[in-house]
Structure 1
Amino acid sequence: MRHLRPLQLFVVAFTLAGTSAATAQSSGVRSGFSVSRLARIDSVLDRAVARGEIAGAVALVLRDGQPVYERAVGWADREASRRMRLDDIFRIASQTKALTSVGIMALAEEGKLSLRDPVSRYIPAFEHTTVALRSDTGRVVVAARRRITIRDLLTHTSGISYGVDSLVGPLYSARGLGPAAGWGWYTADKDEPVCTTMERLATLPFVAQPGERFVYGYSTDILGCVIERVSGQPLDLFIRTRITDPLGMRDTHFFLPVDARGRLVTVYASGSDGHAVRAPAGPRGQGDYVDGPRTSFSGGAGLLSTAHDYARFLQMLLNGGTLNGVRILAPSTVALMTSNQTGTLYSQEGEGFGLGFSTVERPGANGRVESVGTYGWGGAYGSKYAVDPRQRLVLVFMIQQIPDRSDVGTNFPMLVYQALVQPR
């Protein structure tokens, strides 16, 4: 495979398991993977770029902390003829949720909060919330049957959506949320602290009673505010001092440092013909991650990162909460977060949902090829990740395409697993 980097670069970038991909065999089988079958990933990525389905991507696979596949393909900015590089920076949107969830669990380990706590203990505006129900006349708003808890937020069973559906959309839009916030989750253009936004959210009706349904939405943004209230730090400082700096994630930020502007990947969108076209400026495209007000730190969708940085974070989880002698969480906490906590509420066949991650319960269902116990998620710009504890694998696929109608990211796990010829 022609895209593995030299030994010294891997030691600097990872030092995940004291080994490097450069020490692996150049042919045959590498870390249990067929080298010739790994080359199929190259073919698929090259074909997708050549056909114009995607502008570019970065793909990374680790086994036992060692890179076995790494590739930057296509364009970081097609119009400027800037090639994609392995250290290019991506908007990771909902992949932010994993770091915020880890931050909450770190505070729980310190006894500073409990998963049973009502959110209103930290954000009083959530003491009395409401729920919108459909009726013959359109909408009726009723009181919530109970208070929302920290656990409800971690499992997305709070009943809180992104407010883009017809039931509550007009109400949310009038308060600068839902349809007025790009795709619903976007807050990078807001010149107000995230807690101010979440307090405004608390006055709006939600779409389900707490604990009754899996509803994807602002729950993790609320957790970001909880972190600020409990720690006494802005969310960006908390994430940096407690997670990204200790793990050596030097390129992970809420807003891009000026000296890194040239590494931010351009956002594209799948057109009606399936070809990737440059996305517009603003919340439904390039976003305000460089020149925005730098005030709203979204715990649900605000971070920028690289494939390498995010792989370090995932390797920490795979290691049971530690990386290179730095412990972020206890093994039991990671096990709790990455096991199904929602029963059958999560609607994807063969999957469950833990405390911040989806989980594979039945391989083969819903097209999932990963092992039982694999956990992961993705981001609105098309990026995806998975951690397979049984096979000791970390998969990271980075792209910037919204909406993304290509199947490259969806098919990436199959391409990886078809090359795994020595499973455990």
Structure 2
Amino acid sequence: MDTVTNIARAASFPLPSSDLESLGFRKGQIDRLIALIERHVAENRYPGCQIALARHGKLALYKSFGNAVTEPKPRAAADDTLWLLYSNTKVVTAVTLWALAERGLFSFSDRIADHVPAFAKHAKGNITVLQTITHQGGFPNAVVGKDAWADHKRLREVVCDFPLEWTPGSKVHYHGLSAHWTLGVLIEAVTGKDFRDVIRETVAEPLGLGRELFVGLPEAEFGRAADMHETVPGDKGPNGEGMRRDGDANTAEWRKGGAPGGAGYGTARAMAALYQMMLAGGELNGTRILSPRTLQYAIRNHTGDRVDEFMGMPMHRGLGPHLRGTTANIRGLGAFANPGVFGHGGVGTSYCWGDPESGVSFAYVTNNRVPDPWHSKRLDLVANFVHSAILP
């Protein structure tokens, strides 16, 4: 993209640019974060990365690293590169649901079957929207095949036929994609529109993020998308591990399908801006899409200290994001985070979060899916560099 276009896009972005010192960050700690990411790229941990740091409605830092694409010809990551957000997408979908609930289209205490009657099949009739969005629905391993990604009549049929695995509400167990496919069907039932259009019209476009945040990536934007990679144990690389392009995550079907729990695309600064909206009580750059009371309800701990059986630790689930809380361990938000910090991650790649105490939001996105334990260790280090950079 040419320089003039980049300047014009930056000027129209809803967060005006500032600098680290003016917004109360210790530059030395952020320099350490940048050096860490540069080392990761040099070690071939991931081809590319993008970070964004914001506070009080202003953008303190926006920086891209390495390559967005590696084959057949490497392409450097740029300001307008769109990154696969994986499960960070859940928060984008959740914000849409909060807005629709505020309009009176449904309540989180409603049963899914109140709006999608066929969902009652296989003893699912009493599952509530709240149980679904907090990973208590009881169908974590249900799968939506490729044939239903674009055919939303078929999607509704598949979701309604999900088998129940355990009693709803009896466990907290992360539903990777199944819960949010269900919520996508709910959005369509209460609006009569494609859930991808509803997300765009309700969240992305009103907030000024229509060119930087997508659930369902238009084919015209494919050229801006970073390719996703996956770690290959045993290949040459750091600690005996290399990486290759992911055969599934780079397909046109996946990009356009817009799985509401894992196939969003966006820039790091778009995610930092989305969290700035939440930190500001539902408003961004003069545009309000939510009320403070709705956010207080949505971003609170609805699951207590119950252990998420998939994660192996309490995740303090809100209606979309999860919270740091006070337990010893938490995924992705950083050991140094205060209890009210909230956010979400993307499998093996990324984390985005907001801190109500300081007004800081941060987004870290990469394009290689790396397994634990390295993934979780680096997320804690990345987040802690940012937390320790925040001054009063």
TM-score, normalised with respect to structure 2: 0.86
- Looking at structure 1, the residues matched to 128 and 337 of structure 2 have their Cα atoms a distance apart, in angstroms, of 31
**Which residue does 2:206 correspond to in 1?**
246
**Which residue does 2:3 correspond to in 1?**
none
- Looking at structure 1, the residues matched to 132 and 22 of structure 2 have their Cα atoms a distance apart, in angstroms, of 41
Query: Equivalences for 1:90-129 in 2 at 5 Å?
Result: 90-129=83-122
Please give the secondary structure, in 1, of the residue aligned with 2:361: strand
* CA displacement 1:264-315 (0-9 Å, x = unmatched): 101111221554422242x2x423358x7x4x44222232111122222211
Deviation at 1:9, TM superposition (A): 6.3
Identity across matched positions, percent: 25
- Looking at structure 2, the residues matched to 188 and 402 of structure 1 have their Cα atoms a distance apart, in angstroms, of 25
Contact 1:228 1:234 in 2 (8 A): yes
Structure number, greater radius of gyration:
1
Deviation at 1:350, TM superposition (A): 6.0
The question of 1:417 aligning with 2:387 is answered yes
In structure 1, which of residues 196, 206, 210 is the aligned counterpart of residue 164 of structure 2? 206
**Which residue does 1:167 correspond to in 2?**
none
Query: Equivalences for 1:159-178 in 2 at 5 Å?
Result: 159-163=138-142, 177=143
- Looking at structure 2, the residues matched to 262 and 364 of structure 1 have their Cα atoms a distance apart, in angstroms, of 42
The question of 1:147 aligning with 2:126 is answered yes
Deviation at 1:244, TM superposition (A): 0.7
**Which residue does 1:300 correspond to in 2?**
261
Deviation at 1:349, TM superposition (A): 4.5
**Which residue does 1:223 correspond to in 2?**
183
Query: Equivalences for 1:248-267 in 2 at 5 Å?
Result: 248-249=208-209, 250-267=211-228
Contact 2:148 2:154 in 1 (8 A): no
In structure 2, which of residues 347, 351, 355 is the aligned counterpart of residue 384 of structure 1? 351
Inter-CA distance 159–263: structure 2 relative to 1 (3 Å threshold): same
Deviation at 1:411, TM superposition (A): 2.3
Deviation at 1:364, TM superposition (A): 5.2
* CA displacement 1:318-345 (0-9 Å, x = unmatched): 1111112211111011111111011233
Q: Which structure carries more helix by proportion?
A: 2
The question of 1:400 aligning with 2:367 is answered yes
Deviation at 1:232, TM superposition (A): 1.1
- Looking at structure 2, the residues matched to 189 and 267 of structure 1 have their Cα atoms a distance apart, in angstroms, of 22
Query: Which amino acid in 1 is paired with 2:346?
Result: G
Deviation at 1:71, TM superposition (A): 1.7
* CA displacement 1:79-117 (0-9 Å, x = unmatched): 422111122001112222112222222222122211221
In structure 1, which of residues 189, 192, 203 is the aligned counterpart of residue 151 of structure 2? 192
* CA displacement 1:150-184 (0-9 Å, x = unmatched): 11112111112034xxxxxxxxxxxxx37xx5xxx
* CA displacement 1:335-385 (0-9 Å, x = unmatched): 111110112334364641111111111175346221111110112261211
**Which residue does 1:135 correspond to in 2?**
none
**Which residue does 1:133 correspond to in 2?**
none
**Which residue does 1:171 correspond to in 2?**
none
Inter-CA distance 371–188: structure 2 relative to 1 (3 Å threshold): farther
In structure 2, which of residues 285, 292, 309 is the aligned counterpart of residue 331 of structure 1? 292
**Which residue does 1:139 correspond to in 2?**
none
Contact 1:382 1:404 in 2 (8 A): no
Contact 1:227 1:235 in 2 (8 A): yes
In structure 1, which of residues 274, 284, 287 is the aligned counterpart of residue 251 of structure 2? 287
Query: Equivalences for 1:35-114 in 2 at 5 Å?
Result: 35-79=27-71, 80-114=73-107
- Looking at structure 2, the residues matched to 351 and 219 of structure 1 have their Cα atoms a distance apart, in angstroms, of 16
**Which residue does 1:141 correspond to in 2?**
none
- Looking at structure 1, the residues matched to 11 and 327 of structure 2 have their Cα atoms a distance apart, in angstroms, of 34
**Which residue does 1:269 correspond to in 2?**
230
- Looking at structure 2, the residues matched to 70 and 237 of structure 1 have their Cα atoms a distance apart, in angstroms, of 28
Note the residue ranges of structure 1 that are not aligned, 5 or more in a row. Answer: 1-5, 131-143, 164-176, 182-186
* CA displacement 1:207-242 (0-9 Å, x = unmatched): 221111112221122111111111111111111111
- Looking at structure 1, the residues matched to 55 and 327 of structure 2 have their Cα atoms a distance apart, in angstroms, of 20
Inter-CA distance 12–338: structure 2 relative to 1 (3 Å threshold): same
The question of 1:236 aligning with 2:196 is answered yes
TM-score, normalised with respect to structure 1: 0.80
**Which residue does 1:352 correspond to in 2?**
316
- Looking at structure 2, the residues matched to 96 and 88 of structure 1 have their Cα atoms a distance apart, in angstroms, of 17
Query: Which amino acid in 2 is paired with 1:370?
Result: A
Deviation at 1:72, TM superposition (A): 0.7
Count of residue pairs brought into register by the alignment: 369
Deviation at 1:317, TM superposition (A): 0.8
* CA displacement 1:376-406 (0-9 Å, x = unmatched): 0112261211111101110101112224454
